[in-house]
Amino acid sequence: MQMTRKHLEHILHRHKRSHTRDDRYAFLTEWYDPTASLLRQYQLFYYPKDGSVEMFDVKNQRIFLRRTKYDNLHQEDLFIGNRVNVFSRQLHLIEYGDQYTANKLGSKKERTLALIKPDVVAKIGDVLELMYSSNLMVTKATMTKLTWSQAADFYVEHQSKPFFNNLVQFVSSGPVIAMELMGDEAVSIWKKLLGPADSAVARREAQQSVRAQFGTDGIKNVGHGSDSLAAAARELEFFFPSTIGHGPSNTAIFTDCTCCIIKPHAISEGLTGKILNSISSAGFEISALQMFNVDRANAEEFYEVYKGVVTEYPSMVTELCSGPCMVLEIHGTDAPRAFREFCGPADPEIARHLRPTTLRALYGKDKVKNAVHCTDLPEDGVLEVQYFFKILDG
């Protein structure tokens, strides 16, 4: 990658910007070209002053996209590891393009682990709302059920403490939700948001904290947060391993279920917590939950049933692969029909007139950005859940 970096600095030097007075951020990005089955590299430039973008083809040494205003990309989307959509291309941001960008956008950005314990999994929507209001972005998430030995491995540093057995017993007693949070000083912000480890102390000393609001005691205390950047790296690797292999498995049960996808636009608008709260308040059981970055080929495959049937098909595909989405398995008797009713008509405008309390009426914008996808045909419920929780998470 060293050669690439030097090469890029050379390109940047030669590709002197004519807009020297403007701030400009530069990233090295990769795009998977499905036609050629190749990874292509582009330099992406973003101008925060007017929200315009420019792209430079690294291999062919030429401008690929002249500077163009683009309203769907925002400065907060620009961090290493994220995937952003620029004119229907899903670009993976793999490196800062210059030192200026690294200094401006990279210095305070941190990743930390938030582990939501079994007692508060049902209140995940409320917890996400608090995270969102603290400017913490959820970049990965999975619901899992830890075995006793997995929980003991995770909490190995507490092995000699008197509460160790009770803690491990409790954390392995039901589903947990592990999340990667990202933001400026994320480690300390999440720890502060959690509050003191003993929920009773939290209620006295930090009344706005998550533990003060939802915790019971020192073990049933909502969740866990990494103590340092080193701990965060180790703990994130436990749940979201970067090497080939697998973290703890998802909790999908694949019976009496239907699929719900919280679409990328709803995630980026900060609606995830509200949507999850609405689903839980309506009495639906969320039996599996995971965030996915869907590539274009998989989005086309998943939505294939709509191809040639609905005119929005190409736009639906583009939306699904425009950023992270959250996929849920909804479990219950008659789940596909009941949940589809609850989502409402595909067009939010119609939903607002006819069924104003449905998910799409409350959170949708138009027929493509309509907040959620739900399984349309009862017989497809299990198949759609399997697509994400067996095939894509295989």
Active-site residue list: 224
Instruction: Identify the DSSP state of 345.
Output: -
* Of 218, 203, 199, 209, residue with least CA distance to 131: 209
Joined tokens for residue 233: 């790296």
Cα-based distances in Å from 144 to 103, 147, 253, 292, 354: 36, 10, 12, 15, 37
Please give the Cα distance from 134 to 111 (Å, whole number).
Answer: 14
Please give the Cα distance from 179 to 120 (Å, whole number).
Answer: 14
**Can you tell me which residue has the tokens 């080939």?**
244
Beta strand segments in 48-192, E? 52-57, 62-69, 83-86, 89-96, 109-116, 137-144, 176-184
Q: Which helix (H) or strand (E) holds 31?
A: strand 25-33
Cα-based distances in Å from 21 to 24, 140, 381: 9, 37, 54
Phi-psi region of 375 (alpha: psi -120 to 50; beta: other; left: phi over 0): beta
Phi-psi region of 152 (alpha: psi -120 to 50; beta: other; left: phi over 0): alpha
Please give the Cα distance from 67 to 18 (Å, whole number).
Answer: 11
Q: Return the exposure string of 75-109: e unless at least 16 CB atoms fall within 10 Å of the residue's CB, then b.
A: eebbbbebbbbbeebbbbbebbbbeebbeebeeeb
Please return the burial class of 64, using the count of CB atoms within 10 Å of its CB with bins 0-12, 13-18 and 19+: middle
Q: Return the exposure string of 279-299: e unless at least 16 CB atoms fall within 10 Å of the residue's CB, then b.
A: bbeeebebbbbbbbbbbbebb
Number of Cβ within 10 Å of residue 191's Cβ equals: 18
What's the order of all strands across the beta sheet hosting 52-57?
62-69, 52-57, 38-47, 25-33, 89-96, 83-86
